[in-house]
Amino acid sequence: MTSELSTAECTLSDGRTLSYAIGGDPQGNPVIVHHGTPGSRLFAAVCSDAAARNDIQLVVPDRPGYGRSTSPPHDWTWNDWQDDLHELLDAESIDRVPFVGFSGGGPFALAAATADRTSQIGLVSTVVPPAENKLTTLSRVPFALRILFRLSKSIARVRGPDAVVQQYTDRSVSDPVRTAVADDFHEGVRQGEDAVMRETRMFADSSFDSVRSDIPVRAWHGVQDENTPLSPVETFLEDTHGTLISRDSDHLGTLLDCRQDVLEWVTDYSSN
């Protein structure tokens, strides 16, 4: 991963700041990428070189409360993300663009999509609400979830990037990937745990029912993914007539295996 990232900001209509990274090919066709939970705009580093090879400009925003983006109002939900993101599109003079969502970014990619602004949606290792896993179970005991993430941050500081990577995959990864994943995690929680707690509660308690049938959806998901199980994704795609591409891999492993395919799909589809 050698492509450099730049950081930009836009001021939203309510005065909040939305920060985002731009990577890949600065002159390429834009693709909006939604980071995981927790995560940040620095997630762009994981896919930046693949984007550059496909003449794609990655635009990866810090969702509210992550990285350098202002925390949202108390009653903010993923449905409000559509308004925030569309203001970013206006700021970058982007009319219509593909969305990609990884892990916890998947529901936000779906929530923000409208047929007039979104050409298609690619999902990788996505969460499907209402989700049932260790984190969503802990979200019902907020103090326990907060302690878990504080402990995770402390362990990551002591043990380094491997402690972060091992939360998402059992495989060995390259040094650049290890660094990028760790940087993304640390930047994601730089403001504390409120954003990840808010999103995890959304995943546990909310259902998702606002997917538009006129936007093509394709998902890449690993059969060994213990972070976000495959079965809910299969049901979701059956209901929405989306396409599933399953891989014999785990959570982060699926992204590393498929990032080139995902970007090629959004490129090829958009050009038709």
- Bond prior to 176 in cis (omega within 30° of 0): no
CB 25 within 8 A of CB 6: no
- Structure confidence at residue 1 (pLDDT): 45
The ranges of the chain with pLDDT < 50 are: 1
Q: Domain range holding 65?
A: 6-271
Q: Is residue 1 part of a domain?
A: no
If you ran DSSP here, which 8-state letter would residue 183 be given?
H
- Structure confidence at residue 9 (pLDDT): 98
Helix (H) or strand (E) holding 221, with range, is: strand 217-222
- Structure confidence at residue 139 (pLDDT): 65
For residue 174, give both structure tokens.
Answer: 């390259």
DSSP alpha helices (H): ranges in the chain? 44-53, 78-91, 105-112, 134-138, 142-159, 161-165, 175-188, 194-205, 230-240, 251-271
Distance separating alpha carbons of residues 269 and 44, to the nearest angstrom: 21
Count: domains in the chain: 1
CATH of the domain at 166: 3.40.50.1820
